[in-house]
Chain A
Amino acid sequence: MNDLSPDRAERSAKLKGLGHSRKRVEDQRFTQGRGNYVDDIKMPDMLFGDFVRSPYAHARVKSINIDKAMALPGVIAVLTAKDLEPLSLHWMPTLAGDKQMVLADGKVLFQGQEVAFVIAEDRYINADAIELVEVEYEELPVITDPFKALEPDAVVLREDLAGQTSGAHGERKHHNHIFLWEAGDKEATEQVVETADVVAEEMVYYHRTHPCPLETCGCVASMDKVTGKLTLWGTFQAPHVVRTVASLLSGIEEHNIRVVSPDIGGGFGNKVGVYPGYVCSIVASIVTGKPVKWIEDRMDNLMATAFARDYWMKGKIAATKDGKITGLHCEVTADHGAFDACADPTKFPAGFMNICTGSYDIPVAYLGVDGVYTNKAPGGVAYRCSFRVTEAAYFIERMIEVLAIELNMDAAELRAKNFIRKDQFPYTSAMGWEYDSGDYHTAWDKALTAVGYDVLRAEQAERVEAFKRGETRKLIGIGLSHFTEIVGAGPVKNCDILGMGMFDSCEIRIHPTGSAIARLGTISQGQGHATTFAQILASEIGLPADSITVEEGDTDTAPYGLGTYGSRSTPVAGAAAAMAGRKIRAKAQMIAAYLLEVHDGDLEWDIDRFVVKGAPEQFKTMAEIAYASYNQAIPGVEPGLEAVSYYDPPNMTYPFGAYICVMEIDVDTGTHEIRQFYALDDCGTRINPMIIEGQVHGGLTEALAIAMGQEIAYDEIGNVKTGTLMDFFIPTAWETPTYTTDFTETPSPHHPIGAKGVGESPNVGGVPAFSNAVHDAFRPFGLRQAHMPHDHWRIWKIGNDLGLHDDV
C-alpha cells in the first residue's frame, strides 16, 4: 500500500493534511474586518467599567471619596475594596499561590494599581468620573531594586504577610522574600566549580519587558438574573481555567458560568492571568444586573497587566582547558513585583528555568531562584515562551560566549564540543529533564554552512583591523545561538495550574455526510488552530481538512482543557486531536468490516478509506462509513461516529534550533543594521510549513524588540517610564529585517504525530542571537557582558566605556 500511485497522491493531496501549507480558514473573516474581538461585543444596556489607578508606587490609601463622581449623570456605581470585602473579593488568589489585591486594600504597591472601579453608561462619562474620584494617599518609601528589597532594613512591602515565615513555595527568609526554589546538586556543582581548570563568572540580566499584544486585555461580564447564568467573554488564553477560578471566587456553580474567548488579538502570555478587571466586571454585572464591559487602554496594559522576565542571573560555568564544560551554577534574583502572579505550573515557581543547561551535555548543575517583592507591577508571565525558558536560554547562551572569551576559543566550536550528541537521546539532564529527541550537530553544521561562517569570521577580523587603522567606524557582530526549548506542559503527574492537571482535550463529531466538527480545550490567538488542527485530523480520519470545522474557546461546548500558552497547543491538544481521530478510525474499521463482510483484521487503512487487504478495489471511504454509522443497524456497534480524547502527555517536547545573526554596528551612533538572520528550527513533524514560517518571523521580531530596545523601565520612585508605545519599543516594518528560515525534522518519539510545537522557539532562540551579535562585535575590544536592551544609547555607551570614542 506504499506506492504513491497518481490516485493515492491525489487523494492524499485532497485532504490537505499534515505537511500541507494549507491557507488559513480564519483569514476570510479577518481580512474583511469581520473578526469578533471582545471590544466588538455590544449588548443592550451594556455599561462600561474602568479603574481609578494609583499614581504612586507605594503609598497608604487614607481615604477615597466617591461623592463627586457619583453625582455625575450617567455614573452608576463606584466600587472600592470596602464594597468587595463582604464578598471576600477585595483580594484574589494568583496562579502562583500568592494573593493579589483586586482593589487597593489600605495601600497601593505599584504605579497603576487598581484603586476603585467606576461603572458608567459610556466610556466618556467613565473617564470623566475617574477624574472626580478623590483619593488621599500618604507616600511610602519605594523599592524598585530586588537586591535593595532584601536588605535587612528595607521597608516592608507586603504588610498582609507580616509574620509569615513561609509561603506557597516554602521558607521566606526576609519580609520581602517570596521563595527560594532550587534544582540540581548544589554541593557537587560547587565542588566542580572550585576545582575546575577554568571558570567563567558573569551576572546576566534579562530585563523587565511586556508581551504587549496589539489588542489589550478586556472582558464583557453578563449576569442573567432570570436564568442565574453568568457569561463572561474575554481575552482569555485559558478559558476553562478562568471558569473554574470564577466559580471558586464567586460561589456560582461552574455549570452556571459560561466563559467565551472570542477572537483574540494576540496573547503572548499577556492573557493567561486573572486580572482585577475581570473580577470587578463580574461583580459589577451582578450588582447592576446589566452587562459590563472593561477594556484596558494601552497604558493600563503596559503598567498593570503581566510583565515578563526581570531575572538577575549570576552564573558560573566550569570547563577543562580544552573547553569541555564540567559544571554550571546559577543563582537568580527574580523581581516579581508587588504580588507573585507568575503564570507557572504550581510546582514550578521559577517555571522551567532549570532547563538552563541548554543544548549542552553538562555533568553537574545547580539552580537557585530567589523570588522577591518590589514596588512594581505583578506578572512574570511567559512572554512568547514556555515558562521562564527564554531566561534560561539567554543565560546559557551568554555563559557559553563568556566561557569562549575565557578560553580564547571560537564560540561556535565551543558549542559543538559540548552539544548533547544524537546517540545520547533520550537524554537526562543534570537538572533531571528527559530530552526526548534531538540532532544538534547536524542542525549546527547546516547553519554554519548556510551563512558561510568561516568567511564571515575572516571578514569580521579584517573589519577590526580596518577599524583600528581608522578606516571605518563600523564593526561586525556574529550572534550565535543554539537553543533547546521545553514545551508542551505537561504531564499531569508534575504539572498543574491551581490543581488542574495540564492535559488537553479534543472532541470530534462526524456528520452523516462526511464532514465534521472538532472542539478543543485550547484557544488560538493567531496561531491558526482552526487551520492546523483540522490538518492533523484530516490525516488521521481521512476527511478533507476543508470539511472539518474547529471550534475552541467556549466552555459550554468545548471539552475542558488548559488553554494556549507555553507552546502547548500542538504538543498537548494536537496529540489529543490525533488520539481522538484514532478512536474514530477504530470504530470506523468495525463499521467498514461489517459493510464489506470481512473480519476487521482483514482491513487496512489507506489515506481516506479502509480497504480489504490484497483486494484494493474493495473499500469503504470514511465518508461512506460516516453515513453508514447513522443509517444502518450494525450489531454490537452504537450508532453515530464521535470520539473524545483527554491527552495527558507522557513527557514534554524539546524543540531546538540554530540561529545566526550578522549585525553591523556603528560605534559612534550606536545604531545597528541586521545584515542577515538565519533561523533553523527543528520542531519535529511539521504540520503546516507556511504557518511555521510565519510563527518564526513573528517570534524573531518580538526577540528583536526585546534584545534591541523594548523594556518596562522604572525610575527610582517607581514611575513607569515606558508606559506608551512612544517609549515602549515595537519594531515597525522599517526596522525589521528579512529573515531566512530553514529546518531539520527530528520527530518527538512520544507524541502521536511527532510534533513538538514552534510558536515560541524564535523568541527563545532569537534574543540570545541578537544580543550575542552586539556582544560579539565588541569582543575584540574586551567586552564581556552588557545588559539588554541594546538600544542605540546603550550600544553607544559600550563603545564609549571601551574607549572607542577616545581618538575621534
Chain B
Amino acid sequence: MTKMNISLTVNGQVHEVEAEPRQLLIHLLREDLNLTGAHIGCETSHCGACTVEMDGKSVKACTVFAAQAQGADITTIEGLAEPGTLNVLQESFREHHGLQCGYCTPGMITRAHRLLQENPTPTEEDVRFGMAGNLCRCTGYQNIVKSIMAAANELNPAKEAAE
C-alpha cells in the first residue's frame, strides 16, 4: 500500500514518518517510534490502555489513524516526566499502590494527567466518571482513585486547605 508522509510532534520532538494511511497511531508510536509505554488491550476503544494526549485531549490511539495525527502535538507516558524521574501522578500511583500488573498504568496516568488539567479539584465522583474510559483488571480502581485524588491535592493544595 502506498505510504504517506506524516509529520507530528511527540513528547516535544518533531518526527517525520512514512506510514500507510490505514496505520493506527498506536502502531506508529509503538513500532515506528519505539514508544512502547502505551499498550494495546482491545483495539476497539474500550479499554484505554492505549491512551495518549493529542492536542490537549485524551485519545485512544488504537482508534486514531496515524494520518489523523498529521501536524498533531502528542504526549505519551514517556513524555510526562524526565526519564528516571516520576511526576506527581506517577509518584502518587506508586505511593498508593495504584497499579499491579502495570499494563493499564501508562494509559491511566496519561488520562489522569489530562483529567487534572480539565478539573484540578475533582471530587471522587468526578474522578470515577472521568476515568471510566480506562479499564483495569487488577486493582479494582480503589487505589487508582486514591492515587489521583492524592495527586490532585498535592498539585492544588489550596483546595485541601479550603476543605
Contact = CB atoms under 8 A, between A and B. Distances in A.
A725 interface: yes
B135 A725 contact: yes
Contacts, number: 178
A733 B145 contact: yes
A26 B93 CA distance: 12
Given A528-B100, A698-B140, A298 B128 contact: no
Given A27-B94, A701-B140, A733 B128 contact: yes
B108 to A, nearest CB: 9
B89 to A, nearest CB: 8
Contacts of B133: 732
Max chain A C-beta neighbours (<10 A), residue from B22, B134, B135: B135
B127 interface: yes
B102 A724 contact: no
Interface in B52-105: 76-78, 81, 83-84, 86, 90-91, 93-95, 97, 99-105
A209 to B, nearest CB: 13
B101 A733 contact: no
Given A31-B94, A39-B40, A214 B47 contact: yes
Interface stretch (A186-194, A260-268, A273-281, A661-669): A260-268
Interface string B113-143: 0000000000000011101111111111111
A40 B140 contact: no
Interface in B1-55: 1, 20, 22-23, 27, 30-31, 34-44, 46-47, 49
Contacts of A297: 43
Interface string A722-743: 0011100010111010110000
A738 B103 contact: no
Contact of B42 (A40, A263, A724): A724
Contacts of B101: 213-215, 263-266, 525-526
Q: Is the interface of B mostly helix, strand, loop or mixed?
A: loop
Contact of A33 (B36, B84, B91, B139): B36
A123 B94 CA distance: 34
A450 to B, nearest CB: 18
Contacts of A35: 37, 102-103, 105
Most buried by B among A29, A215, A733, A736: A733
B107 to A, nearest CB: 9
Given A30-B102, A528-B100, A733 B141 contact: yes
A707 B65 CA distance: 37
A265 B103 CA distance: 5
Contacts of A24: 94, 97
Contacts of B102: 26-27, 29-31, 35, 263, 265, 526
Contacts of B145: 733
B141 A701 contact: yes
A469 interface: no
B152 interface: no
Given A32-B78, A214-B47, A733-B128, A725 B42 contact: yes
B109 to A, nearest CB: 6
A223 interface: no
B39 A697 contact: no
Interface string A520-537: 000001111000000000
Interface string A26-47: 1111111111010110100000
Contacts of A700: 140
A30 B93 CA distance: 10
Interface string A562-578: 00000000000000000
Contacts of B91: 31
A268 B137 CA distance: 9
B35 to A, nearest CB: 8
A225 interface: no
B63 to A, nearest CB: 13
B128 A734 contact: yes
A27 B143 CA distance: 14
Given A42-B34, A298-B44, A733-B128, A527 B135 contact: no
A691 interface: yes
A806 B137 CA distance: 40
Nearest to B103: A265
Given A124-B23, A697-B143, A526 B131 contact: no
A32 B132 CA distance: 21
Contacts of B144: 733
Contacts of B44: 298, 724-726
Contacts of A525: 101
Contacts of A123: 27
Contacts of B143: 694, 697
Given A32-B86, A298-B44, A213 B128 contact: no
Nearest to B82: A32
B76 A33 contact: yes
Interface in A734-757: 734, 736, 738-739
B18 to A, nearest CB: 13
Contact of B140 (A29, A214, A739): A739
Nearest to B24: A124
B97 A691 contact: yes
Contacts of B49: 214
A111 to B, nearest CB: 18
A29 B81 CA distance: 12
A298 B41 contact: yes
A774 B139 CA distance: 24
Contacts of B41: 214-216, 265, 298
B37 A33 contact: yes
Nearest to B36: A40
A30 B40 contact: no
Interface in A352-401: none
Nearest to B130: A733
Contacts of A805: none
A690 interface: yes
Nearest to B146: A738
Contacts of B30: 39-40
Nearest to B44: A724
Given A30-B99, A266-B101, A212 B37 contact: no
Contacts of B86: 28, 31-32
A736 B145 CA distance: 11
Interface in A753-771: none
A691 B100 CA distance: 9
A539 B131 CA distance: 39
B38 A730 contact: no
B124 to A, nearest CB: 8
11 contacts: A33-B37, A33-B105, A39-B39, A40-B30, A40-B36, A123-B27, A214-B137, A526-B101, A726-B44, A730-B47, A733-B127
Given A32-B83, A526-B100, 17 more contacts: A24-B94, A27-B94, A32-B84, A33-B37, A37-B36, A124-B22, A214-B41, A214-B103, A215-B41, A264-B101, A266-B100, A266-B103, A298-B44, A697-B143, A701-B139, A724-B42, A730-B137
Interface of B: 1, 20, 22-23, 27, 30-31, 34-44, 46-47, 49, 76-78, 81, 83-84, 86, 90-91, 93-95, 97, 99-106, 109, 127-129, 131-145
Q: Across the A-B interface, give the 4 residue pairs with the lowest CB-CB distance, nearest first.
A: A33-B37, A265-B103, A526-B101, A30-B102
